[in-house]
Chain A
């Protein structure tokens, strides 16, 4: 706050460059590229630590190693970053939580849980743009300075560290590293960057709305949910985003391209999501995805698997319904047949069970559980 006033005072004609002062589309322009700070300074120490974390990240077994796909995400980040493009390095991490973060040295992490949840490029751009907004506004330094005398400093560092640090249970929303003010600024910059890159800004509010829908399924309303760790989404924030987005016109979502690019990874990401064991949230998520993208049977199958796993009264019927709907769509994953067969086996419907389990083995002869399923088929014969 004081810094802002100081800047305004010392820079007579550049009120428009200072965030928060009459923030209009034409007023704001991105800062120049950042130079590497002195090693002994606050920021220098932070930077060095980030460099070391980044080399660990690169070598981590949790990194998604697909050069083409990573390049695709990198390209989106790059177009958003404009002149800062050369400083942004994207790392896609395999973890089923919603998160993206950008460290002051330009290291950007995008978690596969986020990639599962967004429905098009514009929605991803909203989140990445927001992160770049934090980067351009140098917010991490603010947080570090403020937290310096408290143990929260370690958490600031932790937020940029290896995947899973944030994903660990028990990290409350209060450990957020950015102030409300900085969050607001990042939201605004994010929308501007989205718009400049040709994306429809009204997609941004949808991301938070959908996340909210998912999280309110929890008994605690999502208060202690890792999904909230870096991006709390109170109602008024969504409202602000929607209002601001309305001032921008035009832009696209590139939905078709997005779905084509993520399709090869969907099955793995869905398996990881179901494995989380947070059934209510997963069901809410998959219901939304199946409704919005009906051409992909993967979401229905995953929801069927979730019901089958939860196995409460009426869940098995719901699972059967999902699997049955899914097999009617082209490209259905083999798991749908396994799911049907396993439930029918439980319910003493041997003929139907055999048919479906055999179909599973036909479609997925190399599945890890093929031998087990085969033995069930043999049992059902007699």
Chain B
């Protein structure tokens, strides 16, 4: 999802429905927490960092993205201990083969962002986190033997120095919503039950802070993404 679109959705959410976030639930009905020692396949994070130039153009920054991928992965490795599950990493080949499933999960995540956390609630979902990928995730289960899969997605944009200066005036015009214009971090983390295909946990991140370019702040972003993670009890 392009950062500007994510920002636009967030803006819409803010304007349309004050209670939207207050009522968000991150857990699917009937799911409380991971069983202890559960095996979780770690899907490769879909991550991309951008710079916003003075002219407002968003450009991808390959070296930032390289660094961020590494920091994020390191942070995730350290966190897994604390989260109490057994991580199973996919080999490069397995990751490539799961591409279809990854792309499909991306579409479902956009649907959850738009229709569960966002303002366009679907009456038939009855306010519940009720999405399932069905048997499409079977290949991951077969390849890794895991019971769950953790997907994550991060888009982050940073204002260049010149841009920051220009944004001060615009901050006034947008009544304090300048945070979105300065650069924003958006992402999600999602836990899928590989036996049923259900998305059992989903957390969305949309904020104006955070910096994935440095290891410590990357760890903080990961913490934010995995906040309320259904820890094994």
Contacts and interface: CB of A to CB of B under 8 A. Distances in A.
A45 interface: yes
Interface stretch (A18-26, A149-157, A276-284, A302-310): A149-157
A40 B66 CA distance: 10
Interface stretch (B12-20, B54-62, B139-147, B222-230): B54-62
A55 B60 contact: no
Contacts of B62: 45-46, 48-49, 52
A60 to B, nearest CB: 9
Q: How big is the A interface, by class?
A: 10 to 19
Contact of A44 (B57, B58, B63, B99): B63
B59 A39 contact: no
Interface string A1-45: 000000000000000000000000000000000000001100011
Contact of A59 (B58, B59, B60, B96): B96
A27 B62 CA distance: 38
A154 B57 contact: yes
B53 interface: yes
Contacts of A58: 96
Interface in A93-111: none
Interface in A147-199: 149-151, 153-154, 157
A46 B62 CA distance: 7
A158 to B, nearest CB: 10
A39 B53 contact: no
Contacts of A52: 62, 65
A91 to B, nearest CB: 15
A333 B70 CA distance: 54
Nearest to B56: A151
Given A55-B96, A59-B96, A59-B99, A151 B63 contact: no
A153 B60 CA distance: 10
Interface residues of B, number: 13
Contacts of B57: 151, 154
B59 A153 contact: yes
B61 A151 contact: no
Contact of B61 (A40, A45, A55): A45
Nearest to B53: A151
A46 B53 CA distance: 17
B56 to A, nearest CB: 9
B68 to A, nearest CB: 12
A5 to B, nearest CB: 31
Interface in A36-77: 39-40, 44-46, 48-49, 52, 55, 58-59
Given A40-B63, A48-B62, A150 B96 contact: no
B231 to A, nearest CB: 33
A44 to B, nearest CB: 7
A56 to B, nearest CB: 9
Contacts of A149: 53
Contacts of A46: 62
A154 B60 contact: yes
Contact of B55 (A40, A44, A49, A150): A150
A128 B66 CA distance: 31
Given A39-B66, A48-B66, A154 B99 contact: no
A48 B63 contact: yes
A151 B59 contact: yes
A58 B95 CA distance: 13
A228 to B, nearest CB: 23
A223 to B, nearest CB: 23
Given A150-B55, A151-B53, A154-B57, A39 B63 contact: yes
A39 B61 CA distance: 12
Nearest to B69: A52
Contacts of B53: 149, 151
Contacts of A151: 53, 55, 57, 59
Q: Which of A46, A154, A157 has the most CB of B within 10 A?
A: A154
Q: Which of A40, A58, A59 has the most CB of B within 10 A?
A: A59
A-B pairs with lowest CB-CB distance, top 9: A49-B62, A151-B57, A45-B63, A45-B62, A48-B62, A154-B59, A59-B99, A48-B66, A153-B59
5 contacts: A39-B63, A49-B60, A59-B96, A151-B53, A151-B59
